[in-house]
Structure 1
Amino acid sequence: MVTVEDSAELDEMFALIEAMNVPAGYRAEIIEGEIVMNPQRAVHAMIIRGLNRALEAGLGIDANILWDVRIDFPGTLNGYAPDIALVKEGAEEDDRGCYDYRDVEFVAEVVSKGSRRDDYDAKLKVYAAAGIPTYLIADPKTGVAHVFHAPREGVYTDETSHTFGEKFTLPSSGILIDTTSWPRD
């Protein structure tokens, strides 16, 4: 079983982030022990809003859909704030106000200039190791959405790619994702 390491140290690092007063329009995460800040742009927000609407349409408006909420993932010092995270119905926050990564059913990241390496490398590996059933990477630069599914032994065993402008369904859930209005960088 994979475990989250150094939760107390993550708490300290997030306390530092909160004390820094992260500028409006930025989000901060801890990836492999490094504090990473990336700007949120309109393109980013429009894709996140589209994903959120698709999840609500498929699951109902009361679905436990989170965006930019801290979730600690396996490995050393991985405190992520996914662009979108779908948490199992009935999942509850712990005493620190965080959800357990084992309750996450779906994660989506929208690639920005500064997050490209992390979204395609570190996060892909960590989400697979954590057993997150489906990970979607929306890349406005390339105009492609990559869907990784069915993690086994720390790697995703299924990947599909969809060009912006297409409609596709997410594996397992059957939720329709319509990318026809997704903007490109």
Structure 2
Amino acid sequence: MIERPAGAIDGPPEESFVDMLRIVEELDTPDGYKAELIRGKIVVSPWSKLRYKKPMKLLRRQLEPHAPEGHDVDVAPFLFSFPGVGRAFGPALHVADEAAFEAEGRQADGAALSLVAESTSVSTKDVDWLDKLDTYGRVVPVYLVLDMQAEEITAFWDPSPKGYRSRTTVPFGEALRVPAPFDFELDTEGFVAQ
């Protein structure tokens, strides 16, 4: 079990969350930037560095044949909301039920996700390892963190009301078992920075 501070996931009241989510949706961010709702605040941050494209592309290609039926693997900039905890994230890569994209609006329900992957940067590392881990760990079956600074990948799975119950970490270059519903060995050889 991963420890986290008590009350770390408490969100704003529902009305405030809806108002803030509307603002995030209407925000005209500059090219190359995304807006997310983190800890009750709107956070605008740059998309990943260019060198992060290759690992995410390799990850995407390997996930596609193993995605659950009716789920789409994409890196498109979509916002997934978690209203119960007042969060809305735009993951680096997502696997989600295609039905989630038939709704109106600019954000999808976080419960549609079967896997999320984030690549860390110096500015977002804490959010990826703390707030997103806490939020995804209650709903999303699999969360992959590509720690670009440490050059390792961690798989979290088995979500619960208190967060993920299981995790495995390997350095880039070693195979990582991606658990159900994907259930395959991920080749991370190409993730190593050249």
User: Following TM superposition, by how much is the alpha carbon of 1:89 offset from its aligned partner in structure 2, in angstroms?
Assistant: 4.8
User: Whole-Å Cα distance in 2 between the matches of residues 145 and 10 of structure 1?
Assistant: 30
Deviation at 1:83, TM superposition (A): 0.6
The 8 Å contact of residues 167 and 178 in structure 1, kept in 2 or not, is answered as: yes
Q: Deviations over 1:79-135 (max 9, x none)?
A: 210011111254443221432111111111000111100000000001112x11111
Q: Aligned residue for 1:180?
A: 189
| Structure 1: distance between partners of 2:22 and 2:184 | 34
Structure with bigger strand share is 1
3-state SS of 1:11 partner: helix
The percentage of aligned residue pairs carrying the same residue is 25
Partner residue in 2 for 1:165: 173
CA RMSD of aligned residues (A): 2.5
5+ residue gaps in structure 1?
A: none
Aligned to 1:28, the other structure's residue is in SS state strand
Q: What pairs with 1:1-185 in structure 2 (closer than 5 Å)?
A: 5=14, 6-15=17-26, 17-18=27-28, 21-22=29-30, 24-36=31-43, 37-59=45-67, 63-67=71-75, 68-129=77-138, 131-172=139-180, 173-184=182-193
The one-letter code sitting in structure 1 at the alignment partner of 2:35 is A
Over 4 Å off, 4+ runs: none
The amino acid that maps onto 1:135 is Y
| Paired residue total | 178
Ranges in structure 2 where 5+ consecutive residues have no aligned partner: 1-9
TM normalised by structure 1 equals 0.84
Q: Is the 8 A contact 1:128 1:151 kept in 2?
A: yes
